[in-house]
Amino acid sequence: MIRVEQIRKHYDDQIVLQEIDFQVEHGLCLGIIGPNGSGKSTLLHLISGVEPITSGDIFIRNEPIRQYTRKELSQQLAVLQQEGLPPLGYTVREVLEMGRFPFQNWMGKDRMDASELIEGIAEQLHLSTLLDRKLDELSGGQRQRVALGKVMVQQPEILLLDEPTTYLDIRYQLQFMDYVRKWQRECGLTIIAVLHDLNLAAQYCDQLLVLHEGKQVAIGTPNDIIEQERVTQVFGTEPIIIKHPVNGAPQILLQPQEQGIE
Amino acid sequence: MKRTLLLWGGGGVLLLLFTVCVCAMIGSVQIPLLQVPAIVLHQIPWLQDVFPKTWPNSYEQILLKVRIPRVVVGLLVGACLSLSGAAFQGILRNPLADPYTLGVSSGASVGAAFIIYFGLQYSIVGQWSVPLVAFVTGILTLWLVIRLAQEDGKIPTERLILSGVVMQAFLGAFVSLLISLSDKTINEIMFWLMGSLSMRGWSYAGVLSPYLIIGFVIVMGYSRSLNIMALGERQAAHLGMNVERTKMIVLMTATLMTAAAVSVSGVIGFVGLIVPHLIRLLVGPDYRIIVPLSALGGGIYMVIADTLARSVLAPTEIPLGVVTAFIGAPFFAYLLHRNKKTRRSRS
């Protein structure tokens, strides 16, 4: 479980985030949505501990994260960024092994023999045949799967996703989110995901948090959150909202203005 | 990973021993190749009977007092420079980084040029005056560069590189000024700047080796961190690495090694830039392999370059920095070309 209590973030005298207060129960997926510049990524950086919080606290297992060392935090929490992995000359196996870094001592010795874990995860993600290929020989979609594999090898309790599907086509977007959901269900993973695609967010998240100009506007189930008035107010566009014919999740149809921009 | 390391490492050690023997053989007095290892092994008490003395005394004198110490100092300097080159390239994630990027060599040069200009090179602590002053000014320069680059307790890589470049330019101008002001001592400053291993005896090897050994252990310990660093600083932090601390420790270690090497041999360019790249082209991007092989490769490369420097135009010695660049650049170009070809044929 993760709890965010009244956090604020300033850069010099500019306020980027304020009055953020929520919690995510074990095994659930919280989606953070909001327009560009609303502070979504900053919030994720605060939770992942790479940026200091100005005031307020974030608790993981009832311990404020500033009490954790960098290494301890990484044993609990993994992050997958939108740009994924750079095209380097490492093999897929070597990159997956990097996921064990938080569990290795300075000699590089792991707490457990990770080879079985790595091969199991590679099989789940259909990467087994690619294990000895180099990262720079893979496609973007395959590379993002390797990035997912690397955080799975980390065996975290909490996963932070920062627009992980941005550079993927629709097939890989769905495939990626399906892998994540399967992992969530099997391991009771808690997820906080910044997603800019509202339809994807409504399909895969149990709860949605809306950020607007650095403030928390609303939090609730996708059905409560994705509604005409709120989307219009926060995103400044008037969409058509319908129910998904199969699973009932709210989905947004985009509607261009007939006369163009005035 | 272990297999690659054993294979290349084993081959490297054999090449190293062979190179040492060949390079110790060459000189104004030629010593037969097989007698070189025999003379060395003869010095070990319980091997004296296995390698009975069949050579004139003069060979032993030349080898043990002149050539072997010079070869050993060459090995140490080369290893220090290319090891810290690998560390710099890894931590700064910049292929153009080398041990001199942060201005250590320029700082050391100013100190050395200053001492030589005022004719103080044998005054303070005898033959150690230039090395000592060069070492201190080199480290001081790094401290200044880091202070200049620091921003809210962090050291952004771009700022660090820029600060280093600015400092190099400034201190370089200072050295040029000293050179232009001095007329009779011009050659001595210039010669120090271009690097040389002549007249470096066992004591220099003794001074350098602790830096190499301790530096090697530390950089090796951080080799996995350098791998992770290649994914980007943020991802490295997400994987549990204390990025700022790692940067500081690796940069300090590499700088101390560089300063020690430069103060002993002068500024020998190219080794620290090219050897790690060469190793990377041969064995791939894993720093757990690059780090030890860079040390090995740097040593071999330096000994070969130094042998050429002292023998090609004998009795004149060519500045070592000139030789390292002369043989290094074409070889590197060849490897780059070959690498391009294999890449094409693969895809």
Question: pLDDT per residue over A70-81, tens digit each?
Answer: 999 999 999 998
- Is A48's CB within 8 Å of B238's CB? yes
Average pLDDT over residues B263-279: 87
One-character DSSP codes across B269-310: -SHHHHHHHHHHHHH-S-HHHHHHHHHHHHHHHHHHHHHHHH
Name the pLDDT band for B2 (thresholds 50, 70, 90). confident
Q: How far apart are CA A2 and CA A60, in angstroms?
A: 5
Q: With respect to residue A229, please indicate whether it lies within any of the assigned structural domains.
A: no
Average pLDDT over residues A191-197: 91
Name the pLDDT band for A261 (thresholds 50, 70, 90). low
Split into its structural domains, chain A has a count of 1
Per residue in B133-169, pLDDT (tens digit) is: 888 888 899 889 988 888 877 888 888 889 998 998 9
Per residue in A110-137, pLDDT (tens digit) is: 888 888 899 999 998 989 999 999 988 8
Name the pLDDT band for B213 (thresholds 50, 70, 90). very high
Cβ contacts of B235 on chain A, cutoff 8 Å: 79, 81
Distances (CA, A) of A212 to B15, B89, B239: 65, 41, 30
Average pLDDT over residues A161-165: 88
- Is B230's CB within 8 Å of A88's CB? yes
CATH number at residue A205: 3.40.50.300
Domain spanning B70-338: which superfamily?
A: ABC transporter involved in vitamin B12 uptake, BtuC (1.10.3470.10)
Q: With respect to residue A38, please indicate whether it lies within any of the assigned structural domains.
A: yes
Task: Enumerate the β-bridge partners of residue B343.
Answer: none
Which is it for strands A207-212 and A2-11: parallel, antiparallel or unpaired? Answer: unpaired
Name the pLDDT band for B97 (thresholds 50, 70, 90). confident
* ipTM attached to this prediction: 0.88
Name the pLDDT band for A28 (thresholds 50, 70, 90). very high
Degrees, nearest 5: CA angle A78-A79-A81:
160
Residue with tokens 């190219």: B270
Question: What is the pLDDT, as a whole number, of residue B191?
Answer: 77
Residue of A nearest to B218 (CA): A106
Cβ contacts of A104 on chain B, cutoff 8 Å: 224
Instruction: Write A52-57 long-range contacts (CB < 8 A, 24+).
Output: A53/A7, A53/A8, A53/A9, A54/A7, A54/A8, A54/A9, A54/A10, A55/A6, A55/A7, A55/A8, A56/A4, A56/A5, A56/A6, A56/A7, A56/A8, A56/A20, A57/A5, A57/A6, A57/A7
Q: With respect to residue A235, please indicate whether it lies within any of the assigned structural domains.
A: no
Question: What is the pLDDT, as a whole number, of residue B81?
Answer: 93
- Is A70's CB within 8 Å of B241's CB? yes
Q: With respect to residue A256, please indicate whether it lies within any of the assigned structural domains.
A: no
Residue of B nearest to A101 (CA): B239
Q: How far apart are CA A167 and CA A71, in angstroms?
A: 29
Residue of A98, A107, A137, A153 to mutate, testing the B interface (most B Cβ within 10 Å of its Cβ)? A98
Q: How far apart are CA B52 and CA B62, in angstroms?
A: 18
Quick count: other Cβ atoms within 10 Å of Cβ A110? Answer: 14
| Tokens of residue B99, six digits | 């041990």
Question: Is the Cβ–Cβ distance between A219 and A245 less than 8 Å?
Answer: no
Q: How far apart are CA A2 and CA A25, in angstroms?
A: 7
Q: How is residue B32 annotated by DSSP?
A: -
Q: What are the phi and psi torsion angles at B119 (to 5°)?
A: 65, 30
Average pLDDT over residues A151-171: 89
Helix (H/G/I), strand (E/B), else coil: A114: coil
Residue of A nearest to B240 (CA): A71
Report the share of chain B in percent with pLDDT over 70. 96
Q: Any CB–CB contact under 8 A between A70 and chain B? A: yes
Distances (CA, A) of B32 to A1, B17, B48, B49: 75, 15, 19, 20
Q: How far apart are CA B290 and CA B85, in angstroms?
A: 11
Which is it for strands A207-212 and A29-33: parallel, antiparallel or unpaired? Answer: parallel
Candidates A137, A124, A74; CA nearest to A103 is A74
Residue of A nearest to B286 (CA): A90
> Does the predicted model carry a pTM greater than 0.90?
no
Q: With respect to residue A187, please indicate whether it lies within any of the assigned structural domains.
A: yes
Question: Is the Cβ–Cβ distance between B216 and B75 less than 8 Å?
Answer: no
Average pLDDT over residues A58-81: 91
Question: What is the pLDDT, as a whole number, of residue A211?
Answer: 92
Sign of CA dihedral B244, B246, B250, B256: positive
- Would you kindly state where each structural domain of chain B is located, as residue ranges? 70-338
